[in-house]
Amino acid sequence: MIEQIFRAEYGRAVSVLTRVLGDLDLAEEAVQDAFATAAEQWPVKGVPPAPAGWIITTARNRAIDRLRRETKGREKHAQAALLQHEPEEEVGDVPDDRLRLIFTCCHPSLALQAQVALTLKLLGGLTTAEIARAFLVPEPTMAQRIVRAKGKIRAARIPYRVPRDADLPERLKAVLAVIYLIFNEGYLDKAELTGEAIRLGRVLAQLMPDEPEVWGLLALMLLVASRQEARVVDGSLVLLEDQDRSRWDAELIAEGQDIVRRCLRWNRPGPYQIQAAINAVHSDPPTDWHQVLALYDQLLAIMPSPVVALHRAVALAEVEGPAAALQEVDALDLDRYHLFHAVRADLLKRLGEDPSAALKAALERAEHPAERDLISRRLGLATADQQDRADDRDQPDHDPQPGGHAT
Amino acid sequence: MTQKYLLSIYQPDGEVPPPEVLDPIMANLAALNEEMQAKGAWVFAVGLHPPSTATVLRAKDDDVLMTDGPFTEGKEHIGGFTVIQAADLDEALEWGRKLATVLAPLSIEVRPIAY
């Protein structure tokens, strides 16, 4: 119960207390104090009717007590005095507070890694240890990253507010990028990160309901997450066309597709909305590849990047055939990217050529075990395939099995 | 309550541009300084002589050692700086952005002043 309320309300409480106290560390301490008190009292006295409000009020009172006790510095004394005269209604749920906190955590003057860590810590309520584990970083490194970022917010006076309209589009892009990065980090095997990213996406959509790209990102995450159960089976990545559709989450798909339809009516397209639309098409098998290709054309026009071009080539292969797609892929400067080689391998195989070298290149560059496993299996098949062909040449009398060599 | 920020101008070592290039830049810089003054943001601004003119001092035991400068040899050096006061980092970055635009392609480092 407390755990649930903690995850749901931590960010809200910290954001309100940050406004009241003017300091992130004081706010976090106060909120943690309040939850510690809740853990003692609620099992005995019962959960209060408005737990979130109780946490915020308790946190505020704790902060005042703490500031009164620590009367060493005159400044802190003044702060405590100031708090006393703060009108009561200030401690309500001002809807903008979490939004302010998001924009402060995702301020572009902070390193991207720091933005991600702060967002997970302050809004998500994850512990430093949890964040360190999720990003495969030693805990002291992560702790230092967070302390440093908070220090910069304080010393450089990164403002605690929603940016003015002129700066909002750029600043919002940064926020969406942080949430999507958290989602992608969890994409293959860390459901707690994808879950947290979706939760943050929902909060943002609730706070900025008129921003189509906010909804686009939420829909994209819902639709990609809907296939999570089918995507990785026994530690290996399963390609979309091979996935067991009964393991797709119908509820997430319905919600995601519903948002995509709403975005289409809005008619203010952006990269996240288009990627969501592509995933909505995939969620409705058999995939309409003409539609996917048209959407990738649109995406490439507003986000010209070789990675987008690579994905577009996969759709092109389905519409115009592997030869046309290979020509496009070979023109891309993506040698360092494992998917580039994996896509090339697939196209080569479909053209009847040996994909082994491309698969080896993909394997050398892939990092995640689930991806490596898929590539290894394809490489195994390709090698067996080549072996069969060699055997065919060695034994001309051998009658190959109908249906090809792959077993 | 305002916060002071140091805007350091980083420029590559070597020859300064000829007057026909430099003069319009300096005129724009003067205009920006005036704008800062008009808005109450300007505290202090200087341009520096080249690093080769610097002398470095360091106390050791009872002695102060003197060496030909600069303190660090790099590909870039601080060519000048401006101190401003602003309400917060966003406001300071706004001035920094203007300074970087006037002095393009030089980099501007924005750093809060502690005391």
DSSP A191-250: HHHHHHHHHHHHHHHHH-TT-HHHHHHHHHHHHHHHTHHHHEETTEE--GGGS-GGGS-H
A149 located within any domain: yes
> At A289, which helix (H) or strand (E)?
helix A289-302
In the predicted structure, residue A277 carries a pLDDT above the cut 50: yes
Phi, psi torsion values for B40, nearest 5 degrees: 75, 20
Rounded mean pLDDT of chain A? Answer: 88
Is residue A159 located within the same domain as residue A203?
yes
SS3 A164: coil
Specify whether the CB–CB gap between B82 and B13 falls below 8 A: no
Q: How far apart are CA A359 and CA A375, in angstroms?
A: 7
Interchain proximity A107–B112, CB inside 8 Å: no
**Token pair in block for residue B76:** 């870039």
The answer for residues whose C-beta is within 8 angstroms of residue A218's C-beta and 6 or more apart is A198, A201, A202, A204, A205, A259
Given this model, what pLDDT does residue A395 score? 44
- State how far the alpha carbon of B12 is from the alpha carbons of A68, A357, B15, in Å: 52, 45, 9
SS3 B3: strand
Cβ-based contacts of A159 with chain B (< 8 Å): 87-90
Total domain count for chain A?
3
Q: Smallest Cβ distance to B3: which of A107, A157, A167?
A: A157
Given this model, what pLDDT does residue A384 score? 81
Given this model, what pLDDT does residue A390 score? 64
Q: For residue A245, what is the DSSP state?
A: G
B109 touches chain A (CB under 8 A): no
Our CA-based measurement puts residue A210 at a distance from the nearest CA of chain B, in whole angstroms, of 24
Average pLDDT over residues B64-91: 93
Interchain proximity A156–B89, CB inside 8 Å: yes
In the predicted structure, residue A401 carries a pLDDT above the cut 80: no
Our CA-based measurement puts residue B3 at a distance from the nearest CA of chain A, in whole angstroms, of 8
A270 located within any domain: no
A403 located within any domain: no
Specify whether the CB–CB gap between A317 and A344 falls below 8 A: no
B31 touches chain A (CB under 8 A): no
DSSP state string for A30-67 = HHHHHHHHHHHHHHHH---SSHHHHHHHHHHHHHHHHH
- The amino acid that residue A239 corresponds to is L
Cβ-based contacts of A163 with chain B (< 8 Å): 90
Overall pTM > 0.90: no
Is residue A185 located within the same domain as residue A121?
yes
Residue of B nearest to A155 (CA): B112
In the predicted structure, residue A89 carries a pLDDT above the cut 70: no
Query: How far from each other are the two terminal CA atoms of chain B, in whole angstroms?
Result: 14
A119-176: pLDDT as tens digits? 999 999 999 999 998 888 999 999 999 999 999 999 999 999 999 888 999 999 999 9
Query: Which ipTM score applies to this complex?
Result: 0.89
Our CA-based measurement puts residue A361 at a distance from the nearest CA of chain B, in whole angstroms, of 38
Give the Cα-Cα-Cα angle A301, A307, A310 (nearest 5 degrees): 90
A349 touches chain B (CB under 8 A): no
DSSP state string for A62-112 = HHHHHHHH--SSHHHHHHHHHHHTS-GGGGS--THHHHHHHHHHT-TTS-H
Our CA-based measurement puts residue A88 at a distance from the nearest CA of chain B, in whole angstroms, of 25
A326 located within any domain: no
A333-376: pLDDT as tens digits? 999 999 999 999 999 999 999 999 999 999 999 988 889 999 99
Is residue A72 located within the same domain as residue A115?
no
CATH number assigned to the domain comprising residue B75: 3.30.70.1060
Average pLDDT over residues A56-65: 91
Specify whether the CB–CB gap between A332 and A310 falls below 8 A: yes
Given this model, what pLDDT does residue A343 score? 96
Length of chain A: 407
> At A345, which helix (H) or strand (E)?
helix A338-350
The β-bridge partners of B81 are: B8, B46
Is residue A110 located within the same domain as residue A167?
yes
A156 touches chain B (CB under 8 A): yes
Specify whether the CB–CB gap between A341 and A362 falls below 8 A: yes
Is residue A101 located within the same domain as residue A62?
no
The domain of B107 spans 3-112
Domain final position from A91, A109, A133: A91
In the predicted structure, residue B102 carries a pLDDT above the cut 50: yes
pLDDT bracket for residue A88 (50, 70, 90): very low
> At B24, which helix (H) or strand (E)?
helix B19-38
Nearest to B33 by CA among B104, B89, B81, B87: B81
A6 located within any domain: no
Better pLDDT: A104 or A86: A104
Is residue A102 located within the same domain as residue A204?
yes
A162 located within any domain: yes
Query: What is the count of residue pairs from A and B with beta carbons less than 8 Å apart?
Result: 26
A100 touches chain B (CB under 8 A): no
Interchain proximity B114–A155, CB inside 8 Å: yes
Given this model, what pLDDT does residue A95 score? 56
In the predicted structure, residue A92 carries a pLDDT above the cut 70: no
A172 touches chain B (CB under 8 A): no
The domain of A104 spans 95-209
Domain final position from A209, A237, A271: A209
Residue of B nearest to A160 (CA): B88
Phi, psi torsion values for B46, nearest 5 degrees: -140, 155
The answer for residues whose C-beta is within 8 angstroms of residue A68's C-beta and 6 or more apart is A80
Interchain proximity B89–A157, CB inside 8 Å: yes
Interchain proximity B111–A158, CB inside 8 Å: no
- State how far the alpha carbon of A285 is from the alpha carbons of A250, A263, A290, in Å: 13, 21, 13
Is residue A187 located within the same domain as residue A109?
yes
Given this model, what pLDDT does residue B74 score? 84
B3-62: pLDDT as tens digits? 999 999 999 998 888 999 999 999 999 999 999 999 999 999 999 999 989 999 999 999
Phi, psi torsion values for A304, nearest 5 degrees: -70, 100
CB atoms within 10 A of CB A149: 22
Is residue A29 located within the same domain as residue A52?
yes
Write down the residue that tokens 């034994």 correspond to. A395
Our CA-based measurement puts residue B39 at a distance from the nearest CA of chain A, in whole angstroms, of 19
Our CA-based measurement puts residue A234 at a distance from the nearest CA of chain B, in whole angstroms, of 49
A234 located within any domain: no
A347 located within any domain: yes
Cβ-based contacts of A155 with chain B (< 8 Å): 112, 114
Is residue A193 located within the same domain as residue A106?
yes
Q: How far apart are CA A245 and CA A240, in angstroms?
A: 9
Cβ-based contacts of A106 with chain B (< 8 Å): none
A167 touches chain B (CB under 8 A): yes
Better pLDDT: A266 or A396: A266
Interchain proximity B89–A167, CB inside 8 Å: no
Nearest to A324 by CA among A351, A361, A297: A351
Given this model, what pLDDT does residue A235 score? 86
A195-210: pLDDT as tens digits? 999 999 999 999 999 9
Q: For residue A119, what is the DSSP state?
A: I
Total domain count for chain B?
1
pLDDT bracket for residue A272 (50, 70, 90): very high
Residue of B nearest to A167 (CA): B90
In the predicted structure, residue A79 carries a pLDDT above the cut 90: no
SS3 B18: coil
Is residue A59 located within the same domain as residue A111?
no
